[in-house]
Amino acid sequence: AAAEKDGYDWFMLKEIAEQPHAIADTLLGRLSDHGAIVLDEVRISDQEVRDIDKVFVVSCGTSYHAGLIAKYAIEHWTRIPVEVELASEFRYRDPVLDRSTLVVVISQSGETMDTLMAMRHAKEQRARVLAICNTNGSTIPRESDAVLYTRAGPEVAVASTKGFLSQVVACYLVGLFLAQVRGIKYADEVAAIVDELRALPAAVEKVLSEMEPVRELARSLADSPTILFLGRHVGYPVALEGALKLKELAYIHAEGFAAGELKHGPIALIGEGTPVVVVAPSPRGRESVHGKVVSNIQEVRARGARTIVIAEEGDDDVLPYADHVIRVPRTPTLLAPVVTTIPMQVLACEIADTRGLDVDQPRNLAKSVTVE
Ligand code: G6P
């Protein structure tokens, strides 16, 4: 088993390190030289794509967080309304589905029972089902109308890392593909985004090469009774994912919040020294959002929080209120989760390791949950 880990202490560390390759493989052959998205394997006709009037993204756990990110991207690029839902809730809610609904199901394993049952429900209602999956020939892609494989390679650690980043990238491809087929007039923006997608593996590589200070910080957080995570816009799902990773691996109480909701409750949790991890959006993207997050950092700091801020290179506005800054490369707003998630993974992994826990096989969890 040690050999399979390629010298890493944990499969999770190996899989975190494989992320540049994983997302390069997700993109392989799917971006043309002319800035187009090529998804020949997605067997949904152009007419069907044009008829779509609503998208549901349905998944569980970490894959649900990929879905939350997908919503921002797909709505922005296609102007089609997108709803994201936990698979375990979706089918009991009697969702409104018909043949012009596209249901995107996201599952690393392709075997999660809740997701499978949600998908079957969608098919019974005659919706089109597109699976984003990492496991060739598993049940979910076999039963779906179309499948986009993420090609991240086998994921062994229970907590998903490379599976997640490749799902996020696959969701971008789906969003851009829908926009392209529907002839949305974002030609310039889409071509620019395609170049930015190509740059992601190198950006991820860069983040990974700068994680030593994050590991050091993690060791200092290993005894925290609670850690809070804040984000806005696509930083919000990243905050949720950071909290989930910490719960899964380190058994530390953690919660992710939309930073704007702080004042409606969560701020009461903050006391002297409470660690708060904040995902700061790019100052170049949505300026107002950036300014609001900077105020949020200031607010929690004023109440005693120890602030850990994940911020883009060159974003100096966060410096006066950050106890620790974790830098990520400049990335367009919608693509930022691909880089901002990585410090979350490293933090959780290192905290769990410091606490002497089994990083790859956390208690009570399974890699694939095949019961409802
Ligand atoms: C389990 C795993 C999680 C995973 C979730 C969904 O709970 O422990 O890491 O995110 O299932 O799995 P899926 O294979 O459907 O993406």
* pLDDT (tens digit per residue) in 113-157: 999 999 999 999 999 999 999 999 999 999 999 999 999 999 999
CA of 290 to the centre of ligand 1 (A): 31
Ligand 1: residue whose CA is nearest its atom 11: 368
Query: pLDDT at position 289, please?
Result: 92
CA of 159 to the centre of ligand 1 (A): 8
Q: By the 8 A CB rule, do 27 and 353 touch?
A: no
Residue 108 Cβ < 6 Å to ligand 1: yes
Q: What is the mean pLDDT of residues 33-44?
A: 88
Which of 341, 367, 370 has most ligand 1 atoms within 8 Å of CB, for mutation?
Answer: 367
CA of 134 to the centre of ligand 1 (A): 11
Helix (H, G, I), strand (E, B) or coil at 32: coil
Residue 2 has pLDDT above 70, yes or no: no
Query: pLDDT at position 183, please?
Result: 84
Q: Which two tokens stand for residue 12?
A: 């999770």
Tens of pLDDT, residues 182-224: 887 666 677 789 999 999 999 999 999 999 999 999 999 999 9
* Alpha-carbon gap, residue 189 to 201, rounded angstroms: 20
Query: pLDDT at position 190, please?
Result: 75
Query: pLDDT at position 15, please?
Result: 98
Residues marked as catalytic: 367
Tens of pLDDT, residues 296-339: 999 999 999 999 999 999 999 999 999 999 999 999 999 999 99
What angle, 0 to 180 degrees and rounded to 10, lies between the N-to-C axes of helices 187-209 and 19-27? 160
Residue 61 Cβ < 6 Å to ligand 1: yes
- Band (pLDDT 50/70/90 cuts) for residue 285 is confident
Alpha helices (H) in 28-154, listed in sequence order? 46-51, 61-78, 87-90, 113-124, 139-143
Residue 112 has pLDDT above 80, yes or no: yes
Tens of pLDDT, residues 226-260: 999 999 999 999 999 999 999 999 999 999 999 99
* Alpha-carbon gap, residue 140 to 115, rounded angstroms: 8
Query: pLDDT at position 187, please?
Result: 62
Quick one: 113 exposed, middle or buried, by C-beta within 10 A (0-12, 13-18, 19+)?
middle
- Band (pLDDT 50/70/90 cuts) for residue 166 is very high
Query: pLDDT at position 1, please?
Result: 58
Which of 12, 57, 63, 249 has most ligand 1 atoms within 8 Å of CB, for mutation?
Answer: 63
In our burial notation (b when 16+ CB lie closer than 10 A, e otherwise), range 157-166 reads: bbbbbbbbbb
Q: What is the mean pLDDT of residues 77-100?
A: 94
- Band (pLDDT 50/70/90 cuts) for residue 372 is confident
Residue 158 Cβ < 6 Å to ligand 1: yes
Query: pLDDT at position 271, please?
Result: 95
Determine the straight-line distance between the first and last CA of the chain, rounded to whole angstroms. Answer: 31
Q: By the 8 A CB rule, do 152 and 26 touch?
A: yes
Residue 60 Cβ < 6 Å to ligand 1: yes
Return mean pLDDT, the chain.
Answer: 95
Residue 43 has pLDDT above 90, yes or no: no
Please state the atom number of ligand 1 nearest to the C-alpha of residue 61. Answer: 10
Question: Which residue matches tokens 């309304």?
Answer: 81
ipTM over 0.95: yes
**Which amino acid would we find at residue 79?**
R
Alpha helices (H) in the chain, listed in sequence order? 11-17, 19-27, 46-51, 61-78, 87-90, 113-124, 139-143, 162-181, 187-209, 212-221, 235-250, 287-302, 337-354
Query: pLDDT at position 185, please?
Result: 65
* Alpha-carbon gap, residue 312 to 310, rounded angstroms: 7
Per DSSP, the residues of 192-241 read HHHHHHHHHHHHHHHHHHT-HHHHHHHHHHTT-SEEEEEE-TTHHHHHHH
Provide the whole-model pTM: 0.97
Query: pLDDT at position 3, please?
Result: 62
CA of 193 to the centre of ligand 1 (A): 29
